Amino acid sequence: MSSFTETKIEEARAYPADFYWSPEEYRTLLERIEREAQSAEEEYRKQAHARAWELARQQGVKPITNLEELPRDPSPEEDSVDEFLSWIYALRHQDKDRSILE
């Protein structure tokens, strides 16, 4: 919670019980809180991206510039798409069955 929001909450606690803010004051307060939350979220996203790029740099990861650099699947005869989808379907229903029992 931002310091602005905490301050407003503390100020509101000091108001008399019959005190009411106008709808415009509520709207202004909520818009400010929303802007601060969006700003904090954007800052978190930027920090997460910076950490990811730093980790990639430390590990020597480089961007792929040519599709030929990607490894090819040496064994295309492995599970088919249908088998994979059946497996996913079974896992999802297994989780649903477990959640019903809990």
Whether the CB-CB separation of 73 and 79 falls below 8 Å is answered with no
In a domain, 93, yes or no: no
Residue 87 lies in a domain: no
Expressed as residue numbers, the domain containing 23 is 1-63
What confidence tier does 100 reach under pLDDT thresholds 50, 70, 90?
low
In a domain? residue 83: no
Domain count for the chain: 1
- Tracing tokens 């740099």 back to the chain, one arrives at 57
In a domain, 22, yes or no: yes
Among residues 39, 41, 42, 31, which one has the least CA distance to residue 8? 31
Does 10 map to a domain?
yes
Residue 3 falls inside a structural domain: yes
Question: How many angstroms separate the CA atoms of 84 and 94, rounded?
Answer: 15
Q: Is 73 left (phi over 0), alpha (psi -120 to 50) or beta?
A: beta
> What confidence tens digit (pLDDT) does each residue in 17-75 have?
777 878 888 888 889 888 988 999 999 999 999 999 999 999 998 888 888 877 776 55
Does residue 4 form part of some domain? yes
CA-derived radius of gyration, the chain: 26
Q: pTM score, two decimals?
A: 0.44
Q: Determine, yes or no, domain membership for 59.
A: yes
DSSP 59-74: HT------GGGSPP-S
Average pLDDT over residues 71-88: 74
Segment (H or E) for 23: helix 23-59
Amino acid at 45: R
